[in-house]
Structure 1
Amino acid sequence: MIYFDYNATTPVDPRVLEAMLPLFSEQFANASSGHGAGRAVARLVEQARGQVASLVGTNRRNVVFTSGATEAANLAIRGVLAGAEPGRRRILVAATEHKAVLAAAAEAARIHGGTVGIVRVLRNGAPDLDHLAASLSKDVVLVAVMAANSETGAVADVRRACGLAHGAGALFLCDVTQAAGKIPVALDAWEIDLAVLSAHKIYGPKGVGALVARRRLQNRLTPLIVGGGQERGLRSGTTNSAGIVGFGRAAAIAAAELTTDADQLRRLTALLQHLLTEQLDAVELNGPAVARLPNTVNLRFAGADADAVMTSMPEVAVSAGSACKGSSSEPSHVLTAMGLGSTAASESLRFSLGRPSTEDEVHAAVGHVITAVGHVRALARRTRTRPHPRVFSP
């Protein structure tokens, strides 16, 4: 299997697993316990909090551990809307946000009384900041724009978007799940109020993520899970010590190797794109040519249904959309928001490379893709030209 779906999830780095293993056996104490063993684990958790904070350019006190970015987005959006003033209950969300953010905004508006407005995106997938500026008014409480899109890799100018939101008196939420570990993230320098991310996108374990919230905002948030008051009362439940330590170690590795990883992935992704566009006709790039994640390219193979192509090349793992799309037959909401028709969107594949990817894998994958696309196109042509059976009535 050639795995080119690293934006969906990543394997746990062996160095991360090594850091986690003692938390399952030797250092298994509850981090909330007052005895020495518990305090030792609590120190490891706090070390991890600092490592995650360092990766995204914020203070460790702003990091609240959750089960993942989805929970973090729900905690942030519902919390902000629950405490919003009566005249400020509209949320603006970019059209290409992850379904976790889109659904959380819709649910928060339903529960707490509010509305959700959609910010258009440009043809290359970047948010239309002129449309954002025109959509802002005194009734907007929160603006959500992701730093980088999982399907096209499009990188947004979130610093400018945040400035526009603040100018209208609104808070700003940034999903940095795909950006963290791939490009530099500087939440405090960008003046971001709220951000979300997950460990399993940066070679850490699944089931752990974080909400980054400025301390002045944490008191305004309403917890989704109540109980023992862990994570400063924002996320109760026995601390997932092993997962958090793994998250921290993954963040530290990502920070240390970000430049090296990015250079290597940019080279391999460019090679993949070059070979496919050179050796296949009717291949179109979805998304920006330059301002995108170094590991991601989304290509349309005109005349070849993406699901059929994937079925025809079981040796290669790629995606026809984000992992949240699952088995849905609907075209990608990201690509349709960019202006692609349903047919064009259904003929598009995302290739997302990762730290373990090699040049040999790129060449092998290209061969499989060329064969699969050729097979699917030929089958489609035969289907279109096959004469319809004639029906005779007595």
Structure 2
Amino acid sequence: MTAMIYCDYNATTPVDPRVLEAMLPLFSEDFANASSGHTAGRAVARLVEQARGQVAALVGAGRRNVVFTSGATEAANLAIRGVLAGAEPGRRRILVAATEHKAVLAAAQDAARIHGGSVGLIRVLRNGTPDLDHLASLLSRNVVLVAVMAANSETGAIADVRRACQLTHSAGALYLCDVTQAAGKIPVALEAQEIDLAVLSAHKIYGPKGVGALVASRPLQNRMTPLIVGGGQERGLRSGTVNSAGIVGFGRAAAIAAAELATDADRLRHLTALLHRLLAEKLTGVELNGPTVTRLPNTLNLRFAGADADAVMTSTPQVAVSAGSACKGSSTEPSHVLTAMGLDSTAALESLRFSLGRPTTEDEVHTAADHVVTAVDHVRSLHHRSRPSSRAHTPTRTRA
């Protein structure tokens, strides 16, 4: 049986063997509860604090600003609800980029419903980057929070977070930045850019699933309302026995990502460009969804005109790709990210995301491209047989 070529690293990553090695003692000899006051508990607590520092270093933040959660989704809910719960009655409007992850969009809507607020959407440009002029026009004194992610999971579009943050602060609002996809792929500097709140997950950087973090200053943490109450762990913001093994794995993954960021980025940028070139040379009607330059080095979202994306995936079981973010699941609806960029439903449903990772090889890229070309040709041939009057494929072009 031929091994599958995995090209979906933005959905999740395998645990790096070095990360697993760091985690294993926490399941056996270092199993004590990090909240216990005895020697064994204090030893585990020191490991947790070391990991807190490693995660903080990856995103350019202070160690005391990191609050561990079960993942970025919980962290986003904690951030948004926590801010809105303590907001003044006349200042409960949230502005969210239209292409944010569903976790942020849904958390904003839910928080607004619970706390009597409202949500406004920030438009994006055709290349998927946020329209910051539109953000500026939406800002007013009733806005308490603005959410614009650092990099999009589907297109890899990188936002100008420094300017977005400056605009937000000029209106007296707080800025939430989802750095889940950016961390470990591009430099992240939360404190230098004066970002108030950020969220990220371990499993996107070759760490374990089930652990993530909210990053916020201590004064801001003190203003927030927790989602989970109990023993008061994580400075009262996330009660429950600390997931010490997961946290230690998160820390080790963060340290590796920080050390290898530059070399990983260069290699993945080369492989992604190679994949794009191979597909564009062998197929007509290939369109890039997203920026040509300001894009994550590992991410490529392409439309194959006349070839339904789900059908292409079915026709190429040897390659793991996606038709959107993993949170979309088995939904047949077009990607909200692509439609927000101006693609119609047909174009969005003909688009695939390729996201390469640390284990990806050049041989795999060549093989994956061959499989995808065969699948696209097959799907197009079926389409034309069923609709003989169908127009010819459009020429290759790039969406700016």
Same fold, TM-score > 0.5, yes or no? yes
After superposition, residues 152-171 of structure 1 pair within 5 angstroms as 152-171=155-174
**CA distance in structure 2 between the partners assigned to 1:59 and 1:159 by the alignment:** 18
- 1:360 aligns to 2:346 (yes or no): no
Deviations 1:261-308 (A, max 9, x none): 000000000000011011100100000000000000100000000000
Residue equivalent to 1:102: 105
Residue equivalent to 1:244: 247
Deviations 1:296-336 (A, max 9, x none): 01000000000000000000000000000000010000000
**CA distance in structure 2 between the partners assigned to 1:145 and 1:275 by the alignment:** 33
Structure 1: where are the runs of 5+ without partners?
Answer: 387-394
Once the two structures are TM-superposed, the CA of residue 142 in structure 1 deviates from its matched residue by: 0.2
Residue equivalent to 1:69: 72
- 1:318 aligns to 2:303 (yes or no): no
Once the two structures are TM-superposed, the CA of residue 214 in structure 1 deviates from its matched residue by: 1.0
- 1:260 aligns to 2:263 (yes or no): yes
**CA distance in structure 2 between the partners assigned to 1:318 and 1:338 by the alignment:** 21
**CA distance in structure 1 between the partners assigned to 2:242 and 2:232 by the alignment:** 11
Once the two structures are TM-superposed, the CA of residue 377 in structure 1 deviates from its matched residue by: 0.2
Once the two structures are TM-superposed, the CA of residue 385 in structure 1 deviates from its matched residue by: 2.5
Residue equivalent to 1:389: none
Residue equivalent to 2:47: 44
Partner amino acid, structure 2, of 1:6: Y
Partner amino acid, structure 2, of 1:133: A
Once the two structures are TM-superposed, the CA of residue 209 in structure 1 deviates from its matched residue by: 0.1
**CA distance in structure 2 between the partners assigned to 1:228 and 1:82 by the alignment:** 21
TM-score scaled to structure 2, two decimals?
0.96
- 1:79 aligns to 2:76 (yes or no): no
Residue equivalent to 2:223: 220
**CA distance in structure 1 between the partners assigned to 2:333 and 2:224 by the alignment:** 34
**CA distance in structure 1 between the partners assigned to 2:136 and 2:281 by the alignment:** 40
SS at 2:214 equivalent: strand
After superposition, residues 1-394 of structure 1 pair within 5 angstroms as 1-385=4-388
Partner amino acid, structure 2, of 1:202: I
Which aligned segments of 4 or more residues in structure 1 are displaced greater than 6 angstroms? none
The number of equivalent residue pairs is: 386
**CA distance in structure 2 between the partners assigned to 1:347 and 1:306 by the alignment:** 5
**CA distance in structure 2 between the partners assigned to 1:384 and 1:358 by the alignment:** 39
Once the two structures are TM-superposed, the CA of residue 215 in structure 1 deviates from its matched residue by: 1.1
**CA distance in structure 2 between the partners assigned to 1:187 and 1:372 by the alignment:** 42
Root-mean-square deviation over aligned CA pairs: 0.6
Once the two structures are TM-superposed, the CA of residue 87 in structure 1 deviates from its matched residue by: 1.0
**CA distance in structure 2 between the partners assigned to 1:277 and 1:136 by the alignment:** 41
TM-score scaled to structure 1, two decimals?
0.98
